[in-house]
Amino acid sequence: MKIAITGKGGVGKTTIAGAFARLYKDKGYKVLAVDADPDANLGSAIAGVSKIQQEIVPISQMKKLIEERTGAKPGTVGSFFKINPKVDDIPEKLGTELLGIKLLVLGGVEKGGGGCICPESALLRSLLRNLLLERDEVVIMDMEAGIEHLGRGTAESVDVFVIVVEPGLRSIETAKSIRNLARDIGIEKIFLVVNKVRDSEKGCVEEKIRKEIPDLPIISWISENQKVRLADIEGKSSYDLDEMFVEEIDSLRKKLEAVVG
Ligand SMILES: Nc1ncnc2c1ncn2[C@@H]1O[C@H](COP(=O)(O)OP(=O)(O)OP(=O)(O)O)[C@@H](O)[C@H]1O
Ligand SMILES: [Mg+2]
C-alpha cells in the first residue's frame, strides 16, 4: 500500500499520516513514513516531539551525499549531473527509526524561477521513484499542497491519493488545484477526507463539497477532536491519546484498502 496525503496547510495531513504509520505498524506491517513537507514534523506526529527526531537532517540538505550520488554540487543549475542517481540504500542508511517505523525526511528544494532542475531535486525524485516502485513495505507520504517530487511514471505507483479538507471553502479550493495537478501526472485514485468535522455541520459541509468538487468522492470523515489538538500542544502523538481518533483512522484505512482492492 502506497498512500500520499496532501491538502491545504493546517488541515491535518501530518496528524493523519502519523496515525496511519502507527496503525499499519501495529497491524504488523513494515512501514516507511516519508516526510515530503519542507516544514517537516511527521516524526512528532508518529512518536511525539523528541530529540532524535529534532536532530534529523533532511536529505535535501545532505550536500556531500547529493554531490557523491549525482556528481554535482547542490544548488548548481545547468551543470551536468546524473538524473538517475543510486538511491536504493538511502532508506536503510539514512532513515530514522521511530517506534519501529522508518522515517525519511526529504526536506525542501530551493526553487529557482520555472521550477528546479537541480541535483537535489533529481535525487529526491529518484528516491521517491525507488520508494514507490521498488519497495514492498507500506509507504505513507506526508506531502505539502504542491506535489512536485512526484512525476509521471512515479505517480502511477501511488495506490491512493488522499486530499484532506476541513470545513471551509479555502481548503476546498486548494483541493481542486491539487486534484488538477494530480490528474495531470496520471494519478487516478483520488479521495477526499474531511477532517475536523462537528456532527452538526456535516450535512452542510457535505453539500458544499458536492457542489464544489462533485467528481471527488468523500471517503471518510474525521471528527473535530479536542484530544488531538491537545496532543499537538503537548508534543505527543494523537495516536496515543485518543481511541476515538484511532478508530476513525482505522475506518479510513479500511475504506482505502477496499478501493485499492
Ligand atoms: N481531527 C482534529 N481535531 C482537532 N484538531 C485537529 C484535528 N486534526 C488535526 N488537528 C490539529 O490541527 C493542527 C494542524 O494539524 P497538522 O499539523 O496535522 O496539519 P498539516 O495539514 O500537516 O499542517 P501543515 O500544512 O502545516 O503541515 C494541529 O494543531 C492538529 O493538532
Ligand atoms: Mg504537516
Task: Examine residue 138 and state whether it is found in any structural domain, yes or no.
Answer: yes
Task: Examine residue 229 and state whether it is found in any structural domain, yes or no.
Answer: yes
Binding site membership of 91 for ligand 1 (Cβ less than 6 Å): no
Domain residues for the domain of 225 are: 2-48+95-109+133-260
User: Residue 261's pLDDT is what?
Assistant: 80
Binding site membership of 44 for ligand 1 (Cβ less than 6 Å): no
Task: Examine residue 124 and state whether it is found in any structural domain, yes or no.
Answer: no
Task: Examine residue 234 and state whether it is found in any structural domain, yes or no.
Answer: yes
User: Residue 99's pLDDT is what?
Assistant: 97
Counting ligands in written order, the one closest to the CA of 232 is: 1
The residue whose C-alpha atom lies closest to atom 14 belonging to ligand 1 is: 10
Q: Which atom of ligand 1 is nearest to the CA of 197?
A: 1
CATH number, position 22:
3.40.50.300
Q: If you measure from the C-alpha of residue 164 to the centroid of ligand 2, how many angstroms do you get, rounded to a whole number?
A: 11
Cell of 177: 488545484
For residues 155 and 86, give the distance between their C-alpha atoms in angstroms, rounded to a whole number: 20
- Ion ligand 2: residues, CB < 5 A: 13-14
Other CB atoms within 10 Å distance of the CB of residue 61: 13
User: Residue 217's pLDDT is what?
Assistant: 96
pLDDT tens for residues 183-211?
888 888 999 999 999 999 999 999 999 99
Binding site membership of 152 for ligand 1 (Cβ less than 6 Å): no
For residues 226 and 42, give the distance between their C-alpha atoms in angstroms, rounded to a whole number: 20
User: Residue 115's pLDDT is what?
Assistant: 54
The rounded radius of gyration (Å) of the Cα atoms in the chain is: 18
Per the prediction, the chain carries an average pLDDT of 92
Cell of 232: 499537538
Q: Which percentage of the chain shows pLDDT scores above 70?
A: 96
The residue whose C-alpha atom lies closest to atom 15 belonging to ligand 1 is: 12
For residues 50 and 98, give the distance between their C-alpha atoms in angstroms, rounded to a whole number: 10
Counting ligands in written order, the one closest to the CA of 162 is: 1
Task: Examine residue 193 and state whether it is found in any structural domain, yes or no.
Answer: yes
User: Residue 192's pLDDT is what?
Assistant: 98
Cell of 36: 515530503
In this structure, are residues 209 and 165 in contact, taking their beta carbons and an 8 Å threshold?
A: yes
Task: Examine residue 62 and state whether it is found in any structural domain, yes or no.
Answer: no
pLDDT tens for residues 228-247?
999 999 999 999 999 999 99
Q: If you measure from the C-alpha of residue 234 to the centroid of ligand 2, how many angstroms do you get, rounded to a whole number?
A: 16
Q: Which residues of the chain have pLDDT under 70?
A: 78, 110-117
What's the total number of domains in the chain? 1
User: Residue 75's pLDDT is what?
Assistant: 74
Pocket test for ligand 1, best of 229, 238, 239, 247 (most atoms within 8 A of CB): 229
Task: Examine residue 205 and state whether it is found in any structural domain, yes or no.
Answer: yes
Cell of 38: 519542507
Task: Examine residue 61 and state whether it is found in any structural domain, yes or no.
Answer: no
